[in-house]
Structure 1
Amino acid sequence: MSEVRAERETRRGSAATPVPIRLLLVEDDEGDAVLVREHLADAGLDVDLSWVRSLDEAIDHLNVDLVLLDLGLPDAMGIGALERLLAAGAPAVVVLTGLSGTDIGLQAVAAGAQDYLVKGEVDGELLGRSVRYAIQRRRLEDTDRALYRSLVRAEEVNRLERALLPTPSVVDQRLEVRVGYRAGRDGVLGGDFYDVVERPDGSVLALVGDVCGHGPDEAALGATLRTAWRTLVLAEVPTVDIFGLLERVLISERARPEIFTTVCMLDVTADRSAVDLYLAGHPVPLLLGEPSALLPTHGRGRALGIPVSGGWAPVRLELGPSWRILLYTDGVLEATVTGSSDRVGKTGLLRIVDAAVVAQGDLVDRVLHDVRQLHGGDLVDDAAVVVLGWRG
């Protein structure tokens, strides 16, 4: 049925070239069929008319703009015929039958017919007007439904975005915290997520993660993991235990056993002089400077959800009185350079970051902008960036 609807939309979109109304008449009486043809001619409608004698035949010929349906057919009678036709994906339907009576007409309209006409009471003008109005009403209904679906999707995206990309919960205003996210080319949120939370003891935990895959399911799982992570942090679960518990949530919530998630987490000490770095199969953060450099990688652990042995040992990094660290997801690394198959990669990202540091301004926005510009447009994958900084 999707191909049928697509063809209808194509026809509707080409207003510059008028096309005949494609009309299907479902009528088992040849004399009544001839009379309908005469009424349509009297109405002056440009009609491409098809005629079938049964409901089963009609269901195979629904690639039309409107169906004129008799309710007394060899294989279907009454409102049941209309309901079967609509369930099969019929477009606008006008009931044209010998069955009279207010009740049957109301039932037909309530069931989804655009209009109800009695054969002995119809002339060309009435039939023509009913056909035109029915098609127009159905198109308006389709437009309203499409708008509603669009609004629902937008609200779903907003809810997912709030869950994936929260406002950092940090009290210490001296700590620089910057976050940014860019959706991929299709504008649909993927599985990238981030968060930053300050604990009562003054330590600050920051997280970036990436659920493998791209789409609403991955976004929903990312939102679940991000929420679970913040819950664990606020519950003051020891930092060394967080990844193990987060993996349990992942295994419980993922749709397929092959789904995994890469995560990077920093635990900044209360005095801001050091951080503990936790890596679960995720790209290594950058220590910003002149030049910037990758942080040590000897503590890298496996991605969450991968059924192999091994845990996530922290690496303690002494940072000194002033520092800035950039965390990111692989969307910025895997962006290709315009006109080639080369990826930005770690070397390219370091160049972009160094240029952004020199230029000053909002570092996160600048990095995401420059990666996108180097790529030549919207990125294929979504990308998240978090910057933490301290000046003693």
Structure 2
Amino acid sequence: MSANDETTGEVRPVRVLIVDDDDGDALLVEELFADSALDVTLDRARSIDEALGRLDVDCILLDLGLPDSSGLAGVERIHATGTGAALVVLTGMTSTDLGVEAVAAGAQDYLVKHEVDADLLARSVRYAVQRRLSDEQARTIYKSSVRAQETARLERALLPTPSIVDQRLSVLVGYLPGGDGLLGGDFYDVVEREDGSLACVIGDVAGHGPDEAALGATLRTAWRTLVLADVEPERILPLLEKVMLNERSRPETFTTLCQLVISADRTSADLFLAGHHAPILVSDQSRAIDPTHRGRALGIPVDSPWSAQRLELDGSWWLMLYTDGLLEATVREPVEDSPRVEDDPRRDRGGRSRIGIDGLLAAVSAEFRDGTDELVERILRTVHAVHGGRLVDDAAVLILGWPGCDAGVGQRSATLADSEDWG
């Protein structure tokens, strides 16, 4: 039997480390392996201290009587290192109870020196290595399962089902994770209030990681709670900032946010910007709304209140709220002789030009000309394709559509895209 190298897939001998201070016993083990059918390469250490620097092997044969270790202490010390090597105790001690205790302490097998032959030793090492690999695979599967469950919980908190009664309203949402593929601190929500008005929010916690995702979920939940409690829209952002200041893990963390409150008759909206990008009026010639009341981001220590900007919405309309992951996506091909990023904010550190607002507007307009079915997914696919792979930052999109005088049922869709395999 040989082992497969996990990185190259090549077949190689099983690497065995003998930890025994008795030269005669170590020589006996070498002869037993020579008489077996197991293809091995051998190394030797005479103490636990010496062995701890040589644990990059497939299997460790450990004696329980060493100069710096007696009994199960050696098993416990090696097991505590978290080594991926299998551990087989090979000792002169014949106690059955000690063998059970050794396995409980982390060993894969327990052999007695004067009772072992070449076939038994080879079989024990072979099975121990396979059991260790199986254990590692089981742990990997378990970790993946836990990670998937954590992601699912974050999805429910960050990306809720919009709470909408009005069936004529179209609500299209989407999320494209960036970075390591896990959800970050981007969040959105839509809630229809008792008076028929529609409250919408999209936000982005600065940074990317579990702390930011947890904070984003907290802020999204707090926002919906305030809306359902019928808190006046102009009071929501100050209260949300209090929640953020209390819950953030680092004092420098801040959150950009866009809140839009659409009137019950759908003819006007109040826009609140907290350091966030203004929404886009979606059409075949899409344009960004010109912000006149942009306020600071939540968590920035500046005494500056947020105020509403009134938007007039005539007839039928489509509005798109989004986070800056879309703008920071880059064009796949680097630009030759491009200036440094500090010289030109439209380029990243590799000289690749960013899509920016002009590129995003062009993409949104082009996709809108092909209709509104799966519009969010098509926009995300376009940005993903232009970027050429996983985005650097998360991208969240919320599109609202109103048919005006036209009757009919609005569209509803939700896209959670895996930015590595999706596409």
Q: Does 1:87 align with 2:68?
A: no
1:6 match = none
Q: Distance in 2 between matches of 1:49 and 1:76?
A: 22
1:22 match = 15
Pairwise CA RMSD: 1.6
1:294 match = 288
Q: Distance in 1 between matches of 2:112 and 2:389?
A: 59
1:3 match = none
1:225 match = 219
1:4 match = none
SS in 2 for 1:137: helix
Q: Distance in 2 between matches of 1:336 and 1:283?
A: 18
* Superposed displacement of residue 10, structure 1: 8.3
User: Aligned letter for 1:207?
Assistant: V
Q: Distance in 2 between matches of 1:321 and 1:62?
A: 72
Q: 1:62 aligns with which of 40, 55, 60?
A: 55
SS in 1 for 2:332: coil
SS in 2 for 1:249: helix
1:103 match = 97
Q: 1:187 aligns with which of 177, 181, 191?
A: 181
Q: Distance in 2 between matches of 1:290 and 1:136?
A: 61
User: Aligned letter for 2:16?
Assistant: L
Cα deviations by residue, 1:93-121 (Å, 9 ceiling, x for unpaired): 10011111211111111111111011111
Q: 2:382 aligns with which of 348, 362, 370?
A: 370
1:380 match = 392
1:292-331 matches, cutoff 5 A: 292-331=286-325
What stretches of structure 1 of length at least 5 have no aligned partner?
1-8
Q: Distance in 2 between matches of 1:323 and 1:388?
A: 8
Greater displacement, 57-66 / 43-52: 43-52
Matched pairs, number: 383
Q: TM-score, normalised by structure 1?
A: 0.94
* Superposed displacement of residue 19, structure 1: 1.4
CA contact (8 A) 1:62 1:89 kept: no
Q: 2:34 aligns with which of 5, 28, 41?
A: 41
CA contact (8 A) 2:108 2:128 kept: yes
Cα deviations by residue, 1:118-172 (Å, 9 ceiling, x for unpaired): 1111111111111111111101111111111111111111111111111100101
Q: TM-score, normalised by structure 2?
A: 0.87
SS in 2 for 1:333: helix
CA contact (8 A) 2:13 2:41 kept: yes
Cα deviations by residue, 1:14-53 (Å, 9 ceiling, x for unpaired): 44x3212111111111111111111111113222111111
Q: Distance in 2 between matches of 1:268 and 1:284?
A: 15
Cα deviations by residue, 1:329-366 (Å, 9 ceiling, x for unpaired): 11111111221322111111221222222211332222
1:355 match = 366
Q: Distance in 1 between matches of 2:211 and 2:144?
A: 18
CA contact (8 A) 2:185 2:214 kept: yes
User: Aligned letter for 2:286?
Assistant: S
Q: Distance in 2 between matches of 1:289 and 1:133?
A: 65
CA contact (8 A) 1:209 1:261 kept: yes
Q: Distance in 2 between matches of 1:24 and 1:367?
A: 56
Moved segments of 4+, more than 4 Å = none
Q: 1:104 to 1:188 in 2, by over 3 A?
A: same
